[in-house]
Structure 1
Amino acid sequence: MKKEVKDTIIVELGEKIKAYPHFYLVDVTGLDAAATSALRRKCFKNEIKMTVVKNTLLHKAFEASEIDFEPLYGCLKGTTAVMFCNTANVPARLLKEYSKEGIPALKAAYAEEGLYVGADKLEELASLKSKNEVIAEIVALLQSPAKNVVSALQSGANTIHGVLKTLGERPE
């Protein structure tokens, strides 16, 4: 591969690292063409951009980045694919489906501005909540007390009316 081509690839990887807030490094050693194609289709359906990269080029892209990715350097061995995504937990859930087979295996991840190194972090990454899930939980928590007050007022409307009527008719 010519130096110009390598430089172009390094720049493209750097742009993807900046463009996507989360990425996963995955070991795809042992996947045949059919399995790789199936994995790519699943990634596409889940809005994940999967790219198989040369470890040295990815290392250079990490070095050129503003973020310190030094803990990930040790993971750059074997056949590496990078899964870029906008939602932190989607690739982890996809990899969890494959966890029984062991291929592809998680090497490391950069999610929610944190580094996760090792295949044992897959459960932790899968349990991360996306921004939309957190917002939905907050809205549900905020709505709950209001719903309780409204239902109490509606169910007790007859009772409150009776109490007020009795108090109004009571002689002073």
Structure 2
Amino acid sequence: MPSAKKEKEVAALTELVRGATGYYFLDFTGVAANDFNMARRQLRTAGASIRVVKNRLAFRALVESGIGEEVAEYLKGPTSVVVVREDAIVPARVLKEIARKLTALKVKGAYVEETFFDADRFDFLASLPTKDDLRGQLVGVLSAPIWELANSLEGLLNEFAYVLDQLGERRSEAQTES
């Protein structure tokens, strides 16, 4: 029978993870407290929060929030969970940089956009463009044909104006001769 304290903790974790856009699972064994706090601050500025969790309670909270039971693979040993509320790629880039500096910090895996990413695929995830970058690229791709059409029409209008100008000059020359 789960204790009331654990039930309360699972409820709090479930509330924390519900509605998140992504989760990163970290092994923080050997990371100094100051370094962990530095990582926490950097992740907070990237739109994410980090929390050290008990694996069993985190498993229950994550499954209750809609993640499949495959998450159990990432909840072994000392685990901290990074919960992302905004664009999940920005914290991935921050985590990659933090893990490069703090060699003791290991990314176990991630769950982003209803897809699990193991530690090997994490680098790929961190290299993806952000949603804002993709939107900008899409706008550029969609607006290019419109700009080409506008430039073509402008060229045609300029040619038409030139022809009309030449016709006007010829008429004025013809009238002055007669």
| TM superposition score normalised by structure 2 | 0.80
Deviations 1:132-158 (A, max 9, x none): 332222212121122223234445543
| Structure 1 partner of 2:89 | 89
Determine if contact 2:47/2:91 at 8 Å carries over to the other structure. no
Counterparts in 2 of 1:112-127, with a 5 A limit? 112-117=113-118, 119-127=119-127
- Determine the C-alpha separation between the residues in 2 that align with 1:66 and 1:44: 24
Of 18-27 and 56-65, more deviation after overlay is shown by 56-65
Determine if contact 1:48/1:84 at 8 Å carries over to the other structure. yes
- Determine the C-alpha separation between the residues in 2 that align with 1:63 and 1:19: 13
- Determine the C-alpha separation between the residues in 2 that align with 1:30 and 1:41: 19
Identity %: 32
- Determine the C-alpha separation between the residues in 2 that align with 1:29 and 1:125: 23
| SS of structure 1 residue aligned to 2:66 | coil
| Structure 2 partner of 1:79 | 78
Shift of 1:57: 1.1
| Structure 2 partner of 1:33 | 33
**RMSD of Structure 2 on Structure 1 (CA):** 2.5
Shift of 1:3: 2.0
| SS of structure 1 residue aligned to 2:18 | helix
Aligned partner of 2:75: which letter?
A: L
Unpaired runs of 5+ residues, structure 2, are 171-178
Going from structure 1 to structure 2, the CA distance change for 1:164 and 1:145 (only over 3 Å counts) comes to: farther
| Structure 1 partner of 2:9 | 9
Higher helix residue share: 2
Determine if contact 1:72/1:108 at 8 Å carries over to the other structure. no
Shift of 1:34: 0.8
- How many residues align? The count is 167
